A and B are shown apart, each in its own frame.
Chain A
């Protein structure tokens, strides 16, 4: 029986009422008295030397309050990379300064080099058009291979190279891996591109800076997935102010997918302008600015090789990747292609020897950083594609080659050759479940039906595992992280028994207000309606690290669980006093504190009231109040896993691919709200289908963005995705967090792209186009047709 409430119930999302009735409160909905508006002037060339910026005419335009350029921010710090990576030779990565506004050079189309503040947005924009910028065009660095080989044309002259680092993982494995390849009975090689994507959150970035001259306090309303991280970056690294002088508020945020983890220069600029003008300053990105200046995702070029026996047993794996970081290092950009990519290259398989090499490359394009899945989709795609190719070369069934190499349940905990320890899993169970829910046995009959309609049908699989719940500070510290990755929660029980929970996680669409309330209410045995979730305001919440990397539930939810347990412990103390019993004899169940073996009891509400009306408390041993904070730092990542099956129908006349069905058997550990989990899987797979078939951020050789609007950047629409079959009944609870939860936010985007592409290749092979071994994403009709018709 489905539950009505609490953990495991498909409780409807309480926040949707305000979102769907226009009562959400987003950054652009907030207007402060005396507010002025900012317009950022952005480079129209990919690479240029700034000789002079003449603002005189513009400054005299109607309504203009001030104009700032890169010169005005020279004294400020740079926006830092959050992760220090060392090259194979031990050298630290190259870290050119990322200024608030471009200074000396502009380095990508959309790089902001001036900001106009005016009474109205239109006035600011009018004035910006009158700024006379003398910028000398320089040749654009766009292609990664050329960027690495050409040392005469540099994105950052001061570092002497376009390479940020050359990383080996694990360098000590390299010789053994090469030796295994030297003697391997079979080697499958695949060259592929993981296409560049634009995140396209529904709400564009927006920031509103405010300064209080009376107290010297700054306040920033901004589209952030992690307000404390923004505060830390802005205060400590960029603007150089005490953290306690800055409040960062991320109110309702309309999607992020990674792109709103990072601090961007516009945020520091509106704060600085607010201080200079003593007026609030607002900026809201236009959609074209989002395309040009939000951090993009993916953009890897990879060669992957798989060494096997003749019957398909994996012996060794080797990859060489060029990863684009764009023009500047965004905050997580160095972690994404390394520790979020190389460390999951083992997948769910028992491959004994693995070596991953990644060269990161500066180019005159927008910064590239973590985007839903972040590194793990790239690893999973490479791995699942090369396995598919290997199976075809060896004549082994796609499911069979995977089954043969999957880790077995008795192998957990499993130390991979790429640094991680998988705590638990049952990959056979999800593959078996998939076989059932996707009706793999019925595929041939469906193929025959498609063939009658003139369509080529194909089946693609992917079995995957990811590392998420991005945390263990201990582990990430060893790997180069410059931040901790714990989380925190405060549970404040009010005198009347209702509860405010302040969480370090940030909801930008995920449904935290519903799920966290379910968890707290379940544990305390009270109605969920009595619990409110507070997030997104550094002046209200404890210092937490926000939401990304499928971490909200497993890390912040665990902190919340710990805080609730402290509330129960304190409640027992209060109950013992009120009931004149020993604390050890107090039991807590279903919202009631009772003395074991008696009918003496106090309700949760009575305990809460007493905590704030402590008329006869023994104050030496019992503090008033009922409020607890907990920080939680897990022992390990969590390892969600699953098996996906995609069936496509391909129109042989046009090359057009339609997703006929998509089935997911996932292991997310314990599930708190199955409806929300289904929604996360639907959305993630939808984004994966978008990457596989449609989306492709494209720059031309001059660094001009060709996909700068939805006229050319193809987002998946409802008609591009199928009705999904989703199952998460095969769960192996996480062994090291109190909820047994693993995380589900990125899974769909990680597991789905290879399933789609494998299905397309399968359809072509079954129709006799066996010369087509690979098509790069997006597998557009034009590319499919070209592949079918290549000589």
Chain B
């Protein structure tokens, strides 16, 4: 690890100001710190978001729940359970207890790892990503592997989740990292079903339109019969070919429908 300076602002305004000077925001650090330890990142100054009260917590708002950007997964698992059980269950399956106690929803959404779980929940729920300057619909936010609509210096302050009638997230884990090899988030709302898939695509989390249409007409596993995704843009690596991932998408969506 290279030497760095740690700044711990007490409020969002100070954090925004510090980051505007070119410093790197640090939330749970579950990706950033290992990268720094390997000397693959040298941010100079880190601005910790963990000591800012307004970025913490789970609360009920109009038509949904709002989770502060610096809220750790373990807190979401515990406190979101009564409002949005599928989201809480997803949070409870991320990493291991150490990761869940440090890693945050804002950090995960800002990083947009193509195999992370939270992007599937946000996109599958039609969430609104709140930042220090604006609100962004999930459909506009995720822009591909490790890419988002965030501008330089913009901080994810919270994520607003509409709560569906039914939802579930099922993931098939990569055996080493236990990130999602393929994870499917299925959510049934009054006006239709959303299906978001993580882990599979070279373009990061995505919605499966054909599955959404079929499930909106009939929210049952058999509605998915005959539906397949092309393998063209799927990730192919040590742990699974593109064809295998494309196949798993169908299996995971089906299982999510059964679990919802």
Contacts and interface: CB of A to CB of B under 8 A. Distances in A.
Contacts of A288: 38
Interface stretch (A314-322, A513-521, A593-601, A779-787): A779-787
Contact of B177 (A698, A712, A786): A712
Given A653-B251, A698-B238, A707-B238, A782 B244 contact: yes
A654 B175 contact: no
A654 B176 contact: no
Contacts of A653: 251
A654 B238 contact: no
Interface string A210-238: 00000000000000000000000000000
Given A714-B176, A780-B175, A654 B251 contact: yes
Interface string A692-722: 0110101000000011001111110000000
A693 B3 CA distance: 40
A166 B111 CA distance: 52
A656 interface: yes
Contact of B238 (A125, A656, A696, A715): A696
A289 to B, nearest CB: 12
Contacts of A125: 39
Nearest to B241: A782
A693 B175 CA distance: 10
B222 interface: no
B175 A714 contact: yes
Interface in B168-182: 172, 175-177
Contacts, number: 44
A710 B176 contact: yes
B248 interface: yes
B240 interface: yes
A711 B176 contact: yes
A715 B172 CA distance: 17
Contacts of B238: 696, 698, 706-707, 712
A780 B172 contact: no
Nearest to A694: B175
Category for how many chain A residues contact B: 20 to 34
Contacts of A654: 172, 248, 251
Contacts of B166: none
Q: Which of B38, B177, B244 has the most CB of A within 10 A?
A: B244
A785 B251 CA distance: 12
B177 A782 contact: no
Interface string B214-256: 0000000000000000000000001111011001100100000
A118 to B, nearest CB: 15
A712 B176 CA distance: 5
Contacts of B177: 710-712
Contacts of A693: 175
B72 to A, nearest CB: 21
B239 A782 contact: yes
A718 to B, nearest CB: 11
A786 B241 contact: yes
B176 A785 contact: no
Interface in A744-791: 780-782, 785-786
Contacts of B239: 712, 780, 782
B240 A782 contact: yes
A653 B170 CA distance: 14
Contacts of B172: 654, 656, 781
11 contacts: A693-B175, A694-B175, A710-B176, A715-B176, A780-B175, A780-B239, A781-B172, A781-B240, A782-B239, A782-B241, A785-B247
The 10 A-B pairs at the shortest CB distance, nearest first, are namely A714-B176, A714-B175, A782-B240, A711-B177, A782-B244, A653-B251, A712-B176, A694-B175, A785-B244, A713-B176
Given A122-B3, A711-B176, A714-B176, 17 more contacts: A653-B251, A654-B248, A654-B251, A698-B238, A707-B238, A710-B176, A712-B176, A712-B177, A712-B238, A715-B176, A780-B240, A781-B240, A781-B244, A782-B241, A785-B244, A786-B241, A786-B243
